[in-house]
Amino acid sequence: MPPEPRRDISQYINLVVDIIHDIMPTALLTQLRDARKAKLWSQRDLSERAGIPQAHISRIESGAIDPKVSTLQDLARVLDLDLVLVPRTTLTAVDALVRENAGQEDSQRLREVVAEMYSAAEKLQAMAGGLSDRVADVADELSKLELAEIPPWIRSDILTSTYGISKAIRAANTRALDDALTHLRPLLTDAVVRGSRNRARPAYTLDDEA
């Protein structure tokens, strides 16, 4: 049986959007409208404070349009609301789906580069400059990465850098390898920080997407 074709990440984004639209519209829009009225603000008052056209606010409150998350953020901030966008259990399920299916080819590519780097580190042990240790250290960090927790643009930069490392190893070009490792290091640091932040943050408020 042929392998199931890999889904584009946009499919998962669309899935999340569909879930959000199925769950939140009526309750969320009611909460926004009630919060505005509790402050005794007209739609015009809210418009001036949030910097959003009054006509747009009217259409949001009436459910005539599906507002962007950034628009909901602006309204929630002005209204002093901490809005629940999607139940935690729903986002957990979506997150599991993305982790299981997204980036499988990238993960396989990363595993191949890590194996190549460990092999190169052994061959470089006799060389001066500590290049062998640097290669092994970076390979250790790459092997611990959770690609699904890293923003796509950082993941892309890391994978591009690993191609440079692989090319340098195969060409036995130690200078190019040293340059590639130097370029990759800050990307790995950024990836670790962002991955830790994503794991630590609550998974259900609008502020999470700020």
Distance between CA atoms of 56 and 32, rounded to whole angstroms?
A: 13
- CA-based torsion, 153, 156, 160, 161: positive or negative: positive
* Single pTM value for the model: 0.43
Same domain, 143 and 101: yes
The total domain count for the chain is: 2
Same domain, 43 and 139: no
Same domain, 109 and 164: yes
List beta partners, residue 205: 84
Same domain, 72 and 135: no
Domain boundary among the residues 20, 53, 79 is at: 79
What is the tens place of the pLDDT at every residue in 162-207? 888 888 888 888 889 889 999 998 888 888 877 666 555 544 444 4
Same domain, 62 and 131: no
Same domain, 59 and 143: no
Given a contact cutoff of 8 angstroms between Cβ atoms, the answer to whether 156 and 190 are in contact is no
Same domain, 162 and 124: yes
Please tell me the predicted confidence (pLDDT) of residue 170.
Answer: 85
CATH of the domain at 54: 1.10.260.40
Q: Residue 129: which domain range?
A: 90-199
Same domain, 51 and 131: no
Same domain, 176 and 133: yes
Same domain, 107 and 164: yes
- The phi-psi region of residue 129 (left if phi > 0; otherwise alpha if psi is between -120 and 50; otherwise beta) is left
Over its length of 210 residues, how does the chain's per-residue pLDDT go in tens digits?
433 444 455 555 555 555 555 545 566 778 888 889 999 999 999 989 988 888 888 888 887 777 776 677 778 888 887 655 544 454 455 555 555 555 566 777 777 877 877 777 766 665 545 788 888 888 888 888 877 777 777 888 888 888 888 888 888 888 898 899 999 988 888 888 776 665 555 444 444 444
Domain boundary among the residues 45, 79, 113 is at: 79
Distance between CA atoms of 164 and 168, rounded to whole angstroms?
A: 6
* Number of neighbouring beta carbons within 10 Å of residue 72: 20
